[in-house]
Amino acid sequence: MSGLALRQIEPEILDQLPETDPRAVASRRDLKRVNAIMAQARITASLLRANLVKPPRRILEIGAGDGTFMLKVAERLAPDWRDIELVLVDRLHLVSDTSFAAFGALGWKVRTVQADVFAYVDENADQCFDAVTANLFLHHFNDGELCRLFAGLSQIAPVFVATEPLRGSLPLLSAGMLWAIGANDVTRHDAAVSVRAGFAGEELSALWPQEPPFELQERRRGLFTQTFVARRGEAPGA
């Protein structure tokens, strides 16, 4: 894993482009296909099902982007989980009316919050969620920032599920081949940066606070994804 032994965090182009820049719009479209190739929605839905003792009432997604990733998760869960209140936090407001309507049709009530995640978590420590999710988001932050974020998240929900880029040779090679699906220069650049900033082993577990006690599960799923689950209390069915 030469050159990949340690996380390297570099700026991503998409984070620096204006919201409506055509390259940014195209890259967000690419991201949907990347999420599909990585099977991120399927993985998140199955981790939520496996780790929630009963159907949740309130879910928070941090770094939710345009909400289309969580919509795919909701489509998988909605047959069993209805009347969910979903809060989508992102520093940009990207969720379209079409997505709001699609969540509504599934019986999920969505609220978007445009905020920096650190400020949101600090200011909403008293908010109770049943679960918090993050997809292709944590790798933006260094270990110190993640420690601070995790300390806050451990106070606001009993379950945290993250699906992040796996840092490894195959994911890096595959990022370099995204031209094959027509991905633009922004997506191709940011995909490689994301893999180098991604996670392996038990790196996320090491950053989760020791108190209150949580059970941690971290592992690779599929070829490209590192999953992390922190769950307070007993396992479902235990």
- Footprint of ligand SAM on this chain (CB under 6 A)? 31, 35, 63-65, 69, 90-92, 116-117, 135-137, 140
Structure tokens at 41: 């929605």
Contact 42, 58 (CB under 8 A): no
Distance of closest approach, residue 104 Cβ to ligand SAM, in angstroms: 20
Closest CB to ligand SAM among 53 and 155? 155
Distance of closest approach, residue 212 Cβ to ligand SAM, in angstroms: 24
Closest CB to ligand SAM among 53 and 91? 91
- Calculate the dihedral angle through the C-alpha atoms of 22, 7, 43, 45, rounding to the nearest 10 degrees: -80
Closest CB to ligand SAM among 140 and 189? 140
Closest CB to ligand SAM among 137 and 208? 137
Distance of closest approach, residue 126 Cβ to ligand SAM, in angstroms: 20
Q: How far apart are CA 146 and CA 206, in angstroms?
A: 10
Residue nearest to ligand SAM (CB): 65
At 227, the amino acid letter reads T
SS percent in the chain: helix, strand, coil, step 5: 40, 20, 35
In the chain, count H helices and then E strands: 8, 7
Closest CB to ligand SAM among 54 and 114? 114
Distance of closest approach, residue 174 Cβ to ligand SAM, in angstroms: 16
Distance of closest approach, residue 88 Cβ to ligand SAM, in angstroms: 9
Residue 139 to residues 54, 187, 196, 208, Cα–Cα distance (Å): 29, 15, 9, 15
